[in-house]
Every structure is written in C-alpha cells, then in structure tokens.
Amino acid sequence: MSNTLFDKVWDAHVVRKIEGGPDVLFIDRHLIHEVTSPVAFLGLKSRGTTVLYPNRTFATADHNTPTIHQDQPVADPLSANQLQMLEANSAEYGISHWGLGHQKNGIVHVVGPEYGITQPGATIVCGDSHTSTHGAFGAIAFGIGTSEVEMVLATQCIMQPKPKKMRINVNGKLGKGVTPKDVALFIISQLTTSGATGYFVEYAGDVFEKMTMEGRMTVCNLSIEMGARGGMIAPDETTINYVKGREFTPKGEAWDKALAYYKTLKTDEGATFDKELSFDGASIEPMITYGTNPGMGMGISHNIPDADQVEGGAATYEKSLGYMGFSEGQSMIGKPVDFVFVGSCTNGRIEDFRAFTSLIKGKHKADNVTAWLVPGSHIVEAQIKEEGLLDILHEAGFELRQPGCSACLAMNDDKVPTGKYAVSTSNRNFEGRQGPGSRTMLASPLVAAAAAVTGVVTDPRTLIEELV
Amino acid sequence: MAYDKFNILTSTAVPLPIENVDTDQLIPARFLKATERVGFGDNLFRDWRYNPDNTPKKDFVLNDPTYTGKILVGGKNFGSGSSREHAAWSVYDYGFRCVVSSFFADIFRGNCLNIGVLPVQVSPEFSEKIFAAIFADPKTEIEVNLPQQTITLLSTGESEKFEINSYKKNNMLNGFDDIDYLQSIKGEIKEFAEQLPF
C-alpha cells in the first residue's frame, strides 16, 4: 500500500485509536521552555504524579531571556521567577536543563536540531507553535498547549485526531535574492493564514530539495502561519549529513539502524493527499508583509492590494491597514524603517547571518535604524565570530546580541515602541506582537539588510550583484 | 485538572465580528509571565480593551455594558497564531464557557476543549444570523446544547447542528480530561515505548 511520509511516521507512533475520537500518539522528544511549562508542572504535582520518561524531555530558557548582559541577574522579577521555576522543575524531575548562561542555551527550535535531539521519523512536541520547525528533518513536530505539556510529562503521549494531508510542490529556479523565507511567505500569501488549518503539510519539489537544512527549517517553521499544524520535508542526504555525529544522534550500530529507517521516510509513489498545490519557484520574488497577519504579504515590488482583491472582510482589512498606517494601492518601497530585527526560530541561524552580512558588507547602518541582531544559539554566535562575520558587522556599525527569542514576541526588553516600524525576520506581524503598538513588516534577512543600510524599505536586488 | 461539566448553556452573548482574531490579541505575550493559572481574564484582549494608561477603551465590546454573557461570538479564523493555552485560559477566566465562530484555528480549538471551553463552529450564514440577532437585541439568548450538539437562537428558534467528536463530547459532559484517560492506560504506553526501535 502506498503511504505518505506523514502517514508512516504518525502510524508508527499510535499507541491506541479511540473510536470516534483522537489517536493516542506517543511522543519521542519533548522540548519545554519557561513560559508554557510551569502550570503543567503544577498540574503534575496536584495530581500526585511524576514525569514518566525524564530523558525524553529537554528544557531550555529562551522566551523571556535578556539578549544583553546575560551574565547578570535578570532584572524583571516575573521573568526571573519563570526562569527559576524551569530550573527547579527540571531539577526536581531529572530533566536536562539548559538555562540562561549554559553553553547549550538558545532558542528551543534552534538548539534542538543543533544537538541532534531532532531526528528524522520522530514525533516532537513543544508548548510553542513554531515546533513545526523540526519537520524539516522528516519528523512530525507541532506545537501544543500547556494541558498537553502536562500529558506528555505524565504519560509521554497526547491525544490528537489525525490531521488531513496536504502536499505543496514548488519547482523551478529561484530568482536572485529569493530566500527560503520568501518561498514560505509567498506560500502563506497564497493560502492565507487559515488555508492549511486542519492539515499537515509535506513540502516537495526541487526548490526544497536544493535547500540547506537551515532553509528547510525556515520553511517548516512558518507552516503554522498558514494554519497547518506542521510541515515536513522527506529526509535525504542533506538531512543525514546534518544529523550525523551530533550529541544526541544515535551512534555505532544504532546509527546504522537509524539510517536504514531514515531511508524509508518518503512518500510512496501513488500515495494520495487530501489536497495538493503546486507553485512555480521562478515566479517568487523577495517578499514583505504589509498587514497584521503573515498572510498579508506580497512581492516587494508590488503595491498593497485593494480590499476587494483579498479574501476576508473589508472591515478587518481596513482595520489592519489602519493599524499599520498604510493605504490600499501604495508601494512599500521607500517606507521609513525604525527597527530591524534579525533572529528568532525562523531566521536566527548561521545562514541568515551570512545572508545579512553579505549585503551589508562595505556599507553602513542607516542612522535612523536601530538594529537588533540576535543569534538563535551560542553555536550560531560562535560561528558568526569564527567566520569573520562579526568583524564585517562591526565595521558596518552593527552589534551582535546574545541568544534568545528577543523581539520576535517582545517578552523581554527588546520591544519596538508604539507606532514605530520594524522590518523583522521573525514569524508574526500581529498587532502589538513586537511591543504594544509596534508595526511589523516580515521579510527575509536580505530584505532586513537592505532596510538596515538604507533606512527605508528597499528591494535587496537593487543593492548587490552577487547575492548568496 | 478536571474541569466544569458542560451540558446545556443558555446565555446572552458578546459579539466580536472581527476576522483572524489572533492569540496575541487574546493575551499579549507580556502577560504570559505568570507561573500559576490565575488572573488571565483581566488581560483578555488587553490592548483592544485598554489604553496604554490602563483606562478602558469605550468603543471595545467588553467595555460596553450592553453586551454580556457566557458566550463569545467571534469572526472567522478565531484564535490563530500561538499555541499558548493562556489564550483559552483568559477566555475562561473572563467568564466565557463557549466560543462561537465560523472557523477556528486548530491549536486554540484543542486548547479550549482541554480546559472546558466549548468551541462551536457554525456555518458562515448562521454566524451572520447570530451577529444580526445580537446587534438587533443584545438580550437575545442563545442555547448551546451539547448533548444534542445544537446551537439555537431562542428568539426565533433558528438552530444549527455542530460537530464534536464523541470522545471529547463525553469528556466535556462529564468534566473528564485527557490526562485522566492517559493515566489509565499507562501500562499500555510503557509496553509501546519498549518496542520502539530507538
């Protein structure tokens, strides 16, 4: 029988099927952070139960950590309390804890893959919707609520109805300056933020096959922004080369067995999907969002569409443009930019900093721009230094901050002030996402770089001849 | 934790006819710093509800005494965005026991079911009728009947069936939660774990 990649991994993890209800799904790897776990641990305590498999859960602090002076005590007492709770709960239940200051600390969806916690064919959950990132390895990975965090801690299972399946094919040669972020924002702009709700997505086609693991992670990360629970890409040589030899990756004989399993992880010829979509990669240009959800994106050279050209209510559309201070029919090119944020689980990996640096090299940060460059982990931070990128950034007037989620959701002090505009490589442009009243334009690291050196929204293709 | 049982809820409703209401509007990230599940209702729709100086925004529906009740009626694609269960907690803690929309985001819907808030998905047409009825008469009562899986405008008797899987329905009716169930099959889970390849 022909099966999809998704079916193979899901079905291998079903402990029990409930008639007229969800499947009991076994979870291989569980990632936790300081914000969505404390109430789950309280629940465990009130039930008088414990963590069933502590070695399957990994804790890292990232959501509310500061991105400067990490060696000093956290000033905000509420954040400090959450960080302390994560440490105390991890210690009490025997869970690995990579807290602030730990060499392995970083954004949960960046460090998971870096240390080989993320593996092909695994089921991975975390109380964070961007857990979909790990699907880049051919894992089933998705975000869960705190009640489910408690379920996984207590029983290593959650209860989920099996989602429908969608395949999104993108083939063709990507144009100059078009990055994985642009491919993802393009797809979301076509599907809207609810277009894949109820589905699990498989990305297929040569555009994804040619991507690095970093690029694939960016794409899978954004699956949730079109409503999908997650997205995945079949593992191939690129995946195996990335996974091999990492700390938590199987070794020796176990690796040989794992490798044999990884090679079965692909959609069979003739397997069917509930929905299948195809796009031409060559038609995608650098993208930017103009509204208050990630589906409100367009090619950077386009004009903001009129209300009658977009799906959804005109009132909601006008509210959104009103919040952003934009109007129908306007071009985004030349709009002033106050902040540039490069980082997050979407675009906080080494490739993103390479792209950013390739464009700003030999130029200088615009005076009107505050730039926050936040690596996703200490490994990324070290690579930036080792590759000489830090020197280039410094020469151009940029500083590098310390790892964390930072301005993506502005739980720490990295907040964009009311009314100010940010070009951000993160994942959400919701009202107030980057601070109360902040106005976010989502884009790639190249578009962010172009904005950072010109001070306005700029098509990166106009700035350099040879882009990475 | 087990939660309140849900059977038949008859209440007036609060209308919020905005599409794509996201989790950052339901509860902005800066209010996610609590380590206990208390007080989230105060920050439900915080930035739509209050000015930066914490005075209420008069034109927001939660500040309008005309509209009250235990049912929140939202626009299409309600609850999109983050997996934060705090969004569902804030809806519950404010006093809502049911959210009605023509389309829900996946994770938010699941989170609601896990804490005892009933998400009722209706057709776009019925959603329009509900909004029209509430705006015409804010005292309009709506009956949400879980055993029958119906939602009814009591003023006109217009009614529609809604979907819920039988497992979750039983949980809601009895106030059971998934952890109770999973704990009861722990032996089976351990056996399953032992036979996993790695």
The domain spans of chain A are 5-163+238-261, 164-235+266-283, 287-462
Token pair, residue A408, equals 């993506």
A287-462 maps to which CATH number?
A: 3.30.499.10
Residues of chain A with Cβ-Cβ distance to B135 below 8 Å are: none
Q: Please state the rounded mean pLDDT for residues B24-32.
A: 96
pLDDT score, position B197: 74
H/E element, A419: none
Is residue A282 classed exposed, middle or buried when 0-12, 13-18 and 19+ CB atoms within 10 A define those classes?
A: middle
Residue with the bigger pLDDT between B104 and B196: it is: B104
Q: Say if residue B198's pLDDT is above 80.
A: no
Which of B29, B34, B185 is opposite residue A410, by nearest beta carbon? B29
**Of the candidates B115, B88, B120, the residue with the CA atom closest to the CA atom of residue B101:** B120
When the candidates are 3.30.450.20, 1.20.1260.10, 3.40.50.11720, 3.40.1060.10, the CATH number that belongs to A164-235+266-283 is: 3.40.1060.10
Which residues have CB under 8 Å from A300's CB, separation 6+?
A285, A286, A287, A288, A332, A333, A443, A447, A457, A459
Question: CB–CB of A450/A458 below 8 Å?
Answer: yes
pLDDT under 70 in chain A at which residues? Answer: 465-468
The domain spans of chain B are 8-194
**Of the candidates B28, B106, B104, the residue with the CA atom closest to the CA atom of residue B73:** B104
Q: How many CB atoms lie within 10 A of CB A182?
A: 25
The C-alpha angle A7, A13, A19, rounded to 5 degrees, equals 80
CB contact B184 to A (< 8 Å):
no
pLDDT score, position A452: 98
Distance to chain B for A28, nearest Cα, Å: 9
Distance to chain A for B128, nearest Cα, Å: 12
Beta bridge partners of residue A29, listed in sequence order: A124
| Fold held by A5-163+238-261 | Aconitase; domain 3 (3.30.499)
Rounded distance, CA A301 to CA A317, Å?
21
| Fold held by B8-194 | Aconitase; domain 4 (3.20.19)
pLDDT score, position A466: 54
**End-to-end Cα distance, chain A:** 42
What value of ipTM does the predicted structure carry? 0.96
Measured between CA atoms, the residue of chain A closest to residue B52 is: A436
The C-alpha angle B105, A219, A428, rounded to 5 degrees, equals 50
Substitution target in A129, A158, A251, A427 with the highest count of B β-carbons within 10 Å is A129
Residues of chain B with Cβ-Cβ distance to A79 below 8 Å are: 33
Distance to chain B for A466, nearest Cα, Å: 36
pLDDT score, position B2: 57
Question: CB–CB of B140/B67 below 8 Å?
Answer: no
CB contact under 8 A, A159 and B178: yes
pLDDT in tens, A410-421: 999 999 999 999
**Of the candidates A137, A360, A155, A169, the residue with the CA atom closest to the CA atom of residue A262:** A137
pLDDT score, position A465: 66
Q: Please state the rounded mean pLDDT for residues B1-10.
A: 85
CB contact under 8 A, B32 and A39: no
Sequential DSSP letters for A444-458: -HHHHHHHHHHSB--
CB contact under 8 A, A159 and B36: no
Cα dihedral sign, B164-B169-B171-B174 = positive
Q: Say if residue B1's pLDDT is above 70.
A: no
